[in-house]
Amino acid sequence: MSQMKWALLIVAATAVVGCTKKETPPPAAEEAAAVEKEKPAVVAVEPILPLPSSVDVNMDKVLLGRSLYHDTILSGDGTVACVTCHSLDHGGAEPRKTSTGIAGQIGPINSPTVLNSGYNFVQFWDGRAKDLQEQAAGPVTNPIEMGANWDEVVGRLKKNKEYASDFAKLYEDGVTQANTTDAIAEYEKSLITPSRFDKFLLGDENAITDAEKQGYATFKEVGCTACHTGINVGGTMFQKMGLVKDYFAGRGTPLTDADMGRFNVSKNPAEKHFFKVPSLRNIELTPPYLHDGSQSTLEGTVKIMGTYQLGRDLTDAQVNSIVTFLKSLTGELPAHAKPGS
């Protein structure tokens, strides 16, 4: 074969090899990396959901409800209002072990916070009210709380020119029990308190500190989120007080009717000592703690919960870490919350 033919054959072979090399699929590792890059990012599912920045309410009803919430006109002797036991300056709860009603009567249970209460699945510790409107009606006629009756309350409101005018603008039938509790419920629905932790849940990594992040991790690791979950960090279920160990025996004081919890409503023996799991939002602001108001500090409360609900002897480091996280749940009242704002 001549030199020219050999040269032509070599050129042709080189061209074939070059074309073949360009069509060779990428190595398996490169292909896998490309596929992985195309996958959508996996978003971690958190047991706690963020509060919205606002809630849909009728603001005229909210302002009427605000007036009613702060007015002693709803009580039998004109000395007690909703705010008496649900102080906005105390995280929507009260600074007392248990409530004080008309004539200085001492109630049987610690008042839970009203803040963010629209996200509870039922109202009151024992769940006897299905919603905020039903909850608003109860204390008015309770003889050791507000000690009034609704006919008298409606009569007083009708005689008040300002209230009569406000109700007439908002409700076709003016002042009624149903309309009064509707306005109070609308106001309470509006009392949401977004916190720094909500900003963190929404993607702002700098909204909480590293210590608070570690506290949240500890909160999840030890099992607190078995009950304290959802948008209100609680308020989604009933749970037995003393789930794994007898709380009331450990407390060492006689049982009260209030200690029976859900049983008082259902009369089901299996629901003795069951209570609505409380919200942990703004918990930093609401001592004393538990349904019986027996704990004065968050640290003591977390320790108690570890022992009786989780069956764990939490270390001081774990307790302090969890408390650090809980303080990140403290939010801000909406601008309209207090009278005059």
Same domain, 119 and 216: no
336 annotated to bind ligand: no
Task: Say whether 145 is catalytic.
Answer: yes
- State how far the Cα of 285 lies from the Cα of 76, in Å rounded to an integer: 30
Q: Is residue 54 part of a domain?
A: no
Same domain, 324 and 256: yes
Virtual CA dihedral for 319, 320, 326, 330, nearest 10 degrees? 150
Domain that holds residue 100: 59-192
276 strand-pairing partners: 238
Amino acid at 185: A
* Contact (CB, 8 A) for 45 and 70: no
- State how far the Cα of 29 lies from the Cα of 15, in Å rounded to an integer: 28
Domain boundary among 145, 160, 192: 192
The burial of 1, by beta-carbon neighbours within 10 Å (0-12 exposed, 13-18 middle, 19 or more buried), is given as exposed
Q: Which two tokens stand for residue 195?
A: 């916190």
**Distances 328 to 56, 212, 254, 332 between C-alpha atoms, Å:** 25, 7, 36, 11
- Rounded to the nearest angstrom, the gap between the alpha carbon of residue 9 and the centroid of all alpha carbons in its chain is 81
For the cut 80, the answer to whether the pLDDT of residue 166 exceeds it is yes
Give the pLDDT of residue 45. 86
Angle between helices 210-221 and 316-326 (to 10 degrees): 110
Same domain, 185 and 207: no
For residues 118-140, average pLDDT: 98
Same domain, 93 and 200: no
228 annotated to bind ligand: yes
pLDDT in tens, 4-40: 343 333 334 343 334 444 444 455 555 555 445 554 4
* Contact (CB, 8 A) for 81 and 69: yes
* Contact (CB, 8 A) for 310 and 174: no
Same domain, 237 and 165: no
Domain boundary among 144, 169, 192: 192
Same domain, 306 and 292: yes
The residue that leads in pLDDT, 39 or 250, is 250
Helix or strand or coil: residue 200? helix
| Helices (H), ranges, the chain | 3-23, 28-38, 59-69, 82-85, 132-141, 150-159, 161-170, 177-189, 196-201, 210-221, 247-251, 263-266, 298-305, 316-326
CB atoms within 10 A of CB 161: 8
For the cut 80, the answer to whether the pLDDT of residue 255 exceeds it is yes
90 annotated to bind ligand: no
- Rounded to the nearest angstrom, the gap between the alpha carbon of residue 135 and the centroid of all alpha carbons in its chain is 17
Domain boundary among 136, 160, 192: 192
CATH number at residue 285: 1.10.760.10
Same domain, 183 and 273: no
pLDDT in tens, 193-242: 999 999 999 999 999 999 999 999 999 999 999 999 999 999 999 999 99
Same domain, 109 and 86: yes
Please report where in the chains the tokens 């609680």 appear, as a residue: 234
Q: Is residue 21 part of a domain?
A: no
- State how far the Cα of 118 lies from the Cα of 121, in Å rounded to an integer: 8
Q: Which helix (H) or strand (E) holds 311?
A: none
Q: Is residue 241 part of a domain?
A: yes
Give the pLDDT of residue 1. 44
- State how far the Cα of 66 lies from the Cα of 68, in Å rounded to an integer: 5
Give the pLDDT of residue 29. 52
Q: Is residue 251 part of a domain?
A: yes
Q: Is residue 32 part of a domain?
A: no
The C-alpha R_g of the chain, in whole angstroms, comes to: 30
19 annotated to bind ligand: no
Q: Is residue 302 part of a domain?
A: yes
**Number of independent structural domains in the chain:** 2
- State how far the Cα of 60 lies from the Cα of 189, in Å rounded to an integer: 13
305 annotated to bind ligand: yes
Percent of the chain at pLDDT above 70?
87
Same domain, 220 and 107: no
Nearby residues of 18 by Cβ (< 8 Å), 6 or more positions away: none
Same domain, 133 and 170: yes
DSSP string covering 102-145, please?
Answer: GGGPBPSSPPPP-TTGGGSSSBSTT--BSSHHHHHHHHHH-TTT
- State how far the Cα of 275 lies from the Cα of 237, in Å rounded to an integer: 8
pLDDT in tens, 268-284: 999 999 999 999 999 99
Catalytic residue among 30, 36, 145, 299: 145
- State how far the Cα of 74 lies from the Cα of 76, in Å rounded to an integer: 7
For residues 99-105, average pLDDT: 96
227 annotated to bind ligand: yes
Same domain, 186 and 111: yes
Same domain, 201 and 322: yes
Instruction: Report the chain's mean pLDDT, rounded to a whole number.
Output: 91
